[in-house]
Amino acid sequence: MISLRTARRVALLLSLFFLPSINAWSVDRVQLRDGSVVFGTFKDADAGKVKIETAFAGTLEIDQAEIVGMDVQSDLVLQMDDGSVLETPRLQVDGEQLKLEQQAQQTYALAQLTRINPEPWELGNGYNFAGLASVAFNSQRGNTDLDEFDYRVEMLWESLKDRYRLDGFGEIDEAQGVKNAENWTVRGRYDRVQTGNWYWGGGATFEQDTFADLDLRSTIGPYLGRKFYTEPVFQLEAETGLAYISEDFATAEDREYIGTTWDVHMSSNYLGGDSRLYLDHRGVWNLDEPENVVLNTTLGLAFPLFGGLEGAAEVTWDLNTGAVDGTEELDETYRLRLGYSW
C-alpha cells in the first residue's frame, strides 16, 4: 500500500509535469504543512478529515490540522463550529484562513470549519439511518455433529435532537442432532439530547432463553446517559437508570422486581485500516435481592472486507448470578461474524 508521504511526493512531481493540463481541468488543490501539494477532486470533509480523490493513489484522507492551503473549484456548503452555514461557489484556504467570495466582511480560520457539504440531518433536517446485520455459522461433521447459528441486527435513526435505537440478536445451536441452545433478545430505546453530550431516554428489552428456563424477561424503564468521548480514535458512551423487570420461567417461580440498569459502549479505530475495536456491556442489578446480577459483555474486533461487508471476531460473556437451579451462571461464546453495514 502506498504511504501518504510517498503519495504526496508523487503528486508533487505529477503536478509539476502535468501542470498545464491540471490547470485546464480545474482540479482541486490541497497544500500541506510539509510543503507538499496534492491535486485531485475534492470529495468530503468531516470529523477533522479531508478526502480528495487522486488519479495516482485513489482517495487520500488528510488530517485537517495538516492543511495550510486549499483551493476547491465547486459549489460548497460549509458548516462552522458556531453552527452557521455558509454557501460559496469556490473555497480557498490561504495561511489557514478561509477566503470566501461572498463573505468579504467575515473571516474564518480553517480550524473553525466543522464539515463541508453536510448531510441534511446534520443541519437539523430529518434523520440519519444506519445499521448492521451480521450472522455467524459453524457446522462440524465427523466424530461430533455440531451446528451453530448466531444472528444480530442493529438499526439507528439519529437527528441533532434525538435518536431511536433498535437491535436484536439470538443463537440456535445443535449437537448430535439435539438442540442445546436457543435464545433471543430484542431491545428498543429512545434518546433525547440535552445540553452538551448528556441525554435522557427510555427503553424496553425482551429476552428468551429456552435452556436457561427463561420464557420471557421484560425490562422497561428510563435512564440518563452521556457521551464522554466522541472522536473516532476513542468513543465512550454510558447510561444508567431504573427499570421494572418481570421474569417468567418455564418451571421455576416467576419474579418481578425493581432493578438498576447500566450500559457501556466503547469503540476505537486505533488499530487503523478502518478496523473497529468495540466493547458492549449491559447490566441489571436486582434491588430486592442484591446478590442477583445479570451481566452481558461483548468484546470484538471488526474489519472491512469490501463494499459494505465486514468481518468480526468477538467473545461474549453472559453472567446470571440468580440463575435457576440446574442451569449454569456463566456462558462464554466465541464467534466469527460476517456482516453488512449501511
Question: What are the boundaries of each domain within the chain?
Answer: 4-118, 128-341
> In this predicted structure, what is the pLDDT of residue 265?
97
Nearest to 337 by CA among 183, 174, 139, 137: 137
Nearest to 34 by CA among 60, 1, 67: 67
> In this predicted structure, what is the pLDDT of residue 21?
42
First to last CA, the chain: 26
Q: What are the distances in angstroms from CA 189 to CA 119, 148, 204, 223?
A: 24, 29, 7, 10
Confidence of residue 177 (pLDDT cuts 50, 70, 90): confident
Q: Rounded to an integer, what distance in angstroms lies between the CA atom of residue 294 and that of residue 316?
A: 13
Q: What is the CA radius of gyration of the chain?
A: 26
> In this predicted structure, what is the pLDDT of residue 16?
45
Nearest to 185 by CA among 218, 223, 140, 144: 218
pTM: 0.74
DSSP state for residue 253 in the 8-state scheme:
P
Confidence of residue 164 (pLDDT cuts 50, 70, 90): very high
> In this predicted structure, what is the pLDDT of residue 113?
84
Express each pLDDT in 50-68 by its tens digit: 888 888 777 888 888 888 8
What is the secondary structure of 219-237 as a DSSP string? EEEEEEEEEEEEETTEEEE
Express each pLDDT in 188-214 by its tens digit: 999 998 777 899 999 999 999 998 899
Residues 69-89 as b or e (16 or more Cβ within 10 Å = b): bbbbbeebebbbeeeeebebe
Q: By mean pLDDT, which of 55-64, 221-230, 231-240, 284-293 is the weakest?
A: 55-64
> In this predicted structure, what is the pLDDT of residue 101?
65
Q: What is the average pLDDT value for the chain, to the nearest integer?
A: 85
Express each pLDDT in 259-315 by its tens digit: 999 999 999 988 887 899 999 999 999 999 889 999 999 999 999 998 889 999 999
Q: What are the distances in angstroms from CA 13 to CA 73, 91, 140, 262?
A: 22, 24, 56, 56
Contact 311, 338 (CB under 8 A): yes
CA 314, 315, 316 angle in degrees (round to 5)?
125
Indicate if the pLDDT at residue 144 is higher than 50. Answer: yes
Looking from the CA of 171 toward its CB, the CA atoms found within 13 Å total 20
> In this predicted structure, what is the pLDDT of residue 19?
43
**Highest-confidence segment of 103-107, 146-150, 171-175, 248-252:** 248-252
Q: What is the mean pLDDT of residues 228-248?
A: 93
What amino acid occupies position 301?
Answer: L
Contact 336, 319 (CB under 8 A): no
Q: What is the mean pLDDT of residues 82-100?
A: 80
Contact 8, 32 (CB under 8 A): yes
Q: What are phi and psi of 257, to 5 degrees?
A: -165, 165
Q: By mean pLDDT, which of 26-40, 55-69, 136-150, 314-328 is the weakest?
A: 136-150
Contacts 24+ apart (CB under 8 A), 230-237: 230/197, 231/47, 232/47, 232/268, 232/269, 233/268, 233/269, 233/270, 234/266, 234/268, 234/270, 235/265, 235/266, 235/267, 235/268, 236/264, 236/265, 236/266, 237/264, 237/265, 237/266
Four-way CATH pick for 128-341: 3.40.50.970, 2.40.160.40, 1.10.3720.10, 3.30.2450.30: 2.40.160.40
Indicate if the pLDDT at residue 13 is higher than 60. Answer: no
Indicate if the pLDDT at residue 169 is higher than 80. Answer: yes
Contact 133, 338 (CB under 8 A): no
Contact 152, 169 (CB under 8 A): yes
